[in-house]
Amino acid sequence: MSQDYTHLYREELRVDEDWSDKWDIFVSAFNGSDRVRRVFDKAKADKKFWIIHEEYRFDDHELPQAGGFVCEALNEEEMLRFWESELSASCFGVQGITVCLDATGFMRPQLMFLIKLLYAKGIRKFDVLYSEPQYYLDKDRTTFAGSHVDSVRQVAGFEGISDDTGSRDLLLIGAGYETHLISEVAEDKEESRKIVLLGLPSLRPDMYQQNAWRAWQASDAISVEESERYFAPAADVFATATVVSELVDREQKRGNVRHIYMAPLSTKAQAIGFALCFLSEFQGANISIIYPFTQTYEKETSAGLARIWKHTLEF
């Protein structure tokens, strides 16, 4: 039975106003974009942490003065080390601790693993921010991840059980701008049936067309018919989680699915939606989240700050 997550709390935080929220812990991932830095500065918290992803390849002089936790590339399990070295003393066992993550600059696997980690450590309610850009610097040609995919694999903490009873796997692709990532994932699971989830409504008016165009360019790898395309709002974690839940429920009822792979390659908000759905419904099932891991990631891909969304995840 699918779940509806849209009852969960979602709120727009005004860019030009003070925020009433104050958290005990605020975690963000440092990158070159203005929207990430502005939100970090604006957020009120007792303790703030920067995650420095090695994928961004910052030079020393580009790093925040206060420093940050350097997270080894391609390794989402590093969030365990972050927890042990920085968070556990503050968070573990503390009743009512308030935590906020700004997802905007995070690598998706690390973000999802951190969410799983908080969940596993008993923090079952926390806020996640996501800030929308005004536009992407190269529009439909914007690249985020490096062109070289190191490997396509399951994200730690989001592995499903293996089941060989069905006849075919299913791959649900949250399709973003990056044709090569879509192709890599689709080729890795080339034997699977594919369905594509596009971001609509998109973050900004013309981004849907850009997204759809880029996804079409991977059509040879995807081999998907028009009827196998679905939509979920690009900036809405809960609507995405709801759509994913519905799709998976439908496929499971159809039967004959051996394993469902989900690849959130679109916005961070959609990736969180995938993770939320997985943690709420799919743990222990024949469903996994996979991701094409790249060695590098662009430091700055967007301009401006359009809106900031706060989603309160509750498990």
Partner 1 sequence: METHFQAIREGQLKMETKSIAANPFSITKADDYNDRQIQQFWVDGPAADEPVQSVVQPKTAMPKYLLGAKGSGKTHLLRFHSFPLQKIRLEKRQGGLLSGVKEEGYLGIYIRCGGLNAGRFAGKRQPEDRWEGVFAYYLELWLTRHLLQVVQELEPELEKDDVERFVREAASLFDVSLQLDAFSLHTLIAAIESERRHLDVEVNNCVLSGSMNVQIKVAPGRLVFGIPKCLVERCPALREVTVVYLIDELENLSKYQQRIINSLVRDRELPTTFRIGARLYGIKTLETFSSEEENLPDSEFVRVVLDEEMRRATKRYDAFARSMLRKRLSEAAFGMTVEVDSLQRAFSVQDETWSSEVYLRMVKGEVSRERTHFRRFRQKLRRAGIQDEDGICEALAQFEYPLIEKASILAFYRRVRRGDEPKALAEDIREQAEQFMKGADKGRRGNRVRSIIEHNRTDLSAQLCRENRSRQYYLGLKTFIIMSGGLPRVLLTIMRSIFEWAIYNGEDPMQQDGISIDSQYRGVMEATEWFFSSMRKSGREGAAIQVATERLAQIFRESRFSDLPIECSLNTFSISLHQLSEEARYVLDLCEQRSFINEVSGGQKHRNSKEVQLKYQLHPMLCPRWQLPIGRRGAMVLSSELGNAVFEPGKQDVFAEELKQFRRARRFALKPREGELF
List interacting residues with partner 1 (CB under 8 A).
Answer: 77, 80, 116-117, 120, 147-154, 156-157, 159-162, 164, 167, 169, 183-184, 187, 189-192, 220-221, 223, 258-259, 284, 288, 292, 295
Min CB(150)–partner 1 separation in Å: 5
Cβ closest to partner 1, residue 40 vs residue 56: 56
243 touches 197 (CB < 8 A): yes
Min CB(315)–partner 1 separation in Å: 15
Min CB(213)–partner 1 separation in Å: 17
Cβ closest to partner 1, residue 114 vs residue 269: 114
Cβ closest to partner 1, residue 105 vs residue 157: 157
Cβ closest to partner 1, residue 21 vs residue 163: 163
Min CB(196)–partner 1 separation in Å: 16
Spatial CB neighbours of 32, under 8 Å, sequence gap ≥ 6: 56, 62, 299, 300
Q: Judge residue 185's burial from the number of C-beta atoms within 10 Å of its C-beta, 0-12 exposed, 13-18 middle, 19 or more buried.
A: buried
Min CB(190)–partner 1 separation in Å: 6
Q: Residue 97 CA to chain centroid, in angstroms?
A: 23
174 touches 195 (CB < 8 A): no
Min CB(102)–partner 1 separation in Å: 23
Query: What is the H or E stretch that residue 294 is in?
Result: strand 287-294
In the 8-state DSSP scheme, what is residue 145?
B
Between CA 206 and CA 214, with CA 209 as vertex, the angle to 5 degrees is 125
Cβ closest to partner 1, residue 60 vs residue 220: 220
Cβ closest to partner 1, residue 213 vs residue 231: 213
Give whole-number Cα distances, 73 to 76, 82, 295, 297, in Å. 8, 14, 6, 10
d(CA 150, CA 136): 25
Min CB(126)–partner 1 separation in Å: 17
309 touches 132 (CB < 8 A): yes
Cβ closest to partner 1, residue 6 vs residue 147: 147
